[in-house]
Amino acid sequence: MLLHIPQVLDTQTVAYCRQRLEAAEWEDGKMTSGSLSVSIKRNQQLAKDSAVAKELGAIILQALNANEMFFSAALPSYVIPPQFNRYENSMDLGNHIDNAVQGIFGTQERIRADLSATLFFAEPEDYDGGELVIEDTYGVHEVKLAAGDMILYPSTSLHRVEPVTRGARLASFMWIQSMVRDVGERVVLFDLDTSIRQLRQQEGSHDIATQLTGTYHNLLRRWADL
């Protein structure tokens, strides 16, 4: 499931983050690549331990913690601290699938990467190219969202970033371990939760919404891995 989550960050927060990113010190993205991805990766990244990455990462995590759509779709047990990248001057990222297990920087801990996410900081009209291209069983999807919006997708997906031929593409990326490992089960829970929230807005539907909420939690109890 590909999910567009709008306005994870509001306009004011996006402007502040972008100002901090444009003034930050960037390093070659290949410094953080494995042996396979180094040959397909041409971008810039912030050092994971940089003050800017830590500050903006905390802002993003706080926003995600308050975002109902993100929680409903991802059912996160852990979100790796967000990282940040920049593409310009024909930089790109070739086709790849994210590693199944991701280390948590500065610790010996690791998580299973069930979901990947990209949060955009540059408006689509600010740069040419730079589409995030995701391939799944339903075809090829090109993603280029408004600043502050996020795309959430399975980490099992083949994906790439097209060359940026004008301007600069600024974004954050992260991986999420879900309480529910199976993507099909997560989709069922997300669809059910969405229907319950819509039902609660209808007058006279309290009893039905309550019954469905019980069904939702019984399914979550059966499928969740904590």
Q: Give the Cα separation of 138 and 95 in Å (integer).
A: 17
Q: Give the Cα separation of 191 and 12 in Å (integer).
A: 31
> Is 126 labeled as ligand-binding?
no
Q: End-to-end CA distance of the chain: give it in Å, rounded.
A: 22
Residue 93 to residues 97, 99, 132, 133, 164, Cα–Cα distance (Å) = 11, 15, 9, 10, 10
> Is 159 labeled as ligand-binding?
yes
Residue-wise pLDDT tens digits, 74-104: 999 999 999 999 999 999 999 999 999 999 9
Average pLDDT of every residue of the chain: 95
Residue-wise pLDDT tens digits, 113-132: 999 999 999 999 999 999 99
Q: Give the Cα separation of 13 and 174 in Å (integer).
A: 18
Kindly report the backbone phi and psi dihedral angles of residue 110, in degrees, each rounded to the nearest multiple of 5, phi listed first: -140, 155
- Residue 31 has a pLDDT of 72
Q: Give the Cα separation of 183 and 147 in Å (integer).
A: 27
> Is 4 labeled as ligand-binding?
no
Residue-wise pLDDT tens digits, 17-42: 999 999 999 999 887 655 556 779 99
46-79: buried (b, 16+ CB within 10 Å) or exposed (e) per residue? bbbebebbeebbebbeebbeebebbebbbbbbeb
Which has more confidence, 143 or 137?
143
Domains in the chain: ranges and CATH: 3-178 (2.60.120.620), 183-223 (4.10.860)
- Residue 33 has a pLDDT of 57
pLDDT at 157 over 60: yes
Residue-wise pLDDT tens digits, 167-204: 999 999 999 999 999 999 999 999 999 999 999 989 88
Residue with tokens 């069904």: 215
Q: Give the Cα separation of 108 and 90 in Å (integer).
A: 36
Task: Please tell me the pTM assigned to this model.
Answer: 0.94
**How is residue 80 annotated by DSSP?**
P
> Is 96 labeled as ligand-binding?
yes
- Residue 34 has a pLDDT of 55
